[in-house]
Homo-oligomer: A and B are copies of this chain.
Amino acid sequence: MRFLLIEDNVPLAGAVVDRLSLDGHVVDHAGDLETARDYVATTSYDMILLDIMLPDGDGSSFLTHLRLTENRTPTIVLTARSEVSDRISLLDLGADDYMVKPIDFAELEARCRAVLRRRGSSASSVLSLGAIRFDAASGVLHAGSEDIQLRTRELRLFEVLINAPGMIFSKPALVDRLFSYDEDVSENAIEVYVARLRKHLAGSDVTITTVRGLGYKLEQT
């Protein structure tokens, strides 16, 4: 999952980034609304965490604009207790949930999961193609008679591929999906992860096909 965290408190932001990264998510951090606008204009996120009090404006106006441009990215608003004058108005603006600072990380994770589930983005979290089944929540891949626990990076790659079987993903696009901007990674890393996934898929009726010069796609044989 790719998150956008909009938060001006640097230590707090760092902590959230660290925590979410542990779960294998990619997190981009924007310290103000201007940066945040640039991010959402160029990147597609699975979830936005939005602080309300920001140096260059009010987070709620950002949210309003976001929804007006038909961007339905699930959003959780982070707010100090004193700012919760009207929680209803936040939800009316298009927030999916809100949390009061100080943030409890376990609760944050739980609410993220809840919101994502409610939105049905990865609804039941179990995807299947051919004879394989993949539980995105637990990261377990059932191929043949084996149950394989995918590790975080493998998991994210597989998640991307199985969500659009048959579609070609170029290596630069995959690098973009798996790594955040400040991670400088060679495209060879993608090749390596494709190879590792292929080992897991060996013997099943699903393969990752190379389309030379274009990219990779997942398909049933």
Contact of A152 with B by CB under 8 A = yes
A198 at interface, CB cutoff 8 A: no
Contacts of A155 in B (CB 8 A): 214
Nearest-neighbour CB distance to chain B for A157, whole angstroms, equals 14
Given the known interface contacts A42-B96, A152-B213, A212-B152, the answer about A67 and B139 at a Cβ–Cβ threshold of 8 Å is no
> Taking the complex as formed, is A34 at the interface, i.e. its CB lies under 8 A from any CB of chain B?
yes
- The stretch among A4-12, A14-22, A87-95 that forms the contact with chain B is A87-95
- With A38-B94, A137-B167, A168-B138 known to touch, is A151 a contact of B72 (CB < 8 Å)? no
Shortest beta-carbon distance, A127 to chain B, in Å? 16
Given contact pairs A88-B181, A168-B139, A38 touches B214 in the complex (Cβ within 8 A): no
Question: Nearest CB to that of A181 among chain B residues?
Answer: B88
The smallest beta-carbon distance between A96 and chain B, in angstroms, is: 7
Within 8 Å by CB of A137, from B93, B137, B168, lies B168
Complex Cα gap A114–B13 (Å): 34
CB within 8 Å for A67 and B37 given contacts A94-B42, A181-B88: yes
B139 near A211 with CB under 8 A, answer yes
In the docked arrangement, what's the CA distance between A167 and B149, Å? 12
Asked if A70 CB lies within 8 Å of chain B CBs, one says yes
Q: Assess the B139–A214 pair: CB atoms within 8 A.
A: yes
List the B residue with the shortest CB-CB distance to A34.
Answer: B68
Tell which of B41, B95, B138, B217 touches A138, judged by Cβ atoms closer than 8 Å. Answer: B217
Contacts of A124 in B (CB 8 A): none
Q: Does A45 contact B (CB under 8 A)?
A: no
Q: Kindly state whether residue A179 has any CB partner on chain B within 8 Å.
A: no
**In the complex, which residues of chain B have a beta carbon less than 8 angstroms from the beta carbon of A72?**
41, 69
Does A35 touch B at the CB level, under 8 Å?
yes
Closest-by-CB residue of B relative to A67 is: B41
User: CB-defined interface of A134-153 with B at 8 Å, one 1/0 digit per residue?
Assistant: 00011100000000010110
| Chain B contacts for A55, CB-based, 8 A | none
A193 in contact (CB, < 8 A): no
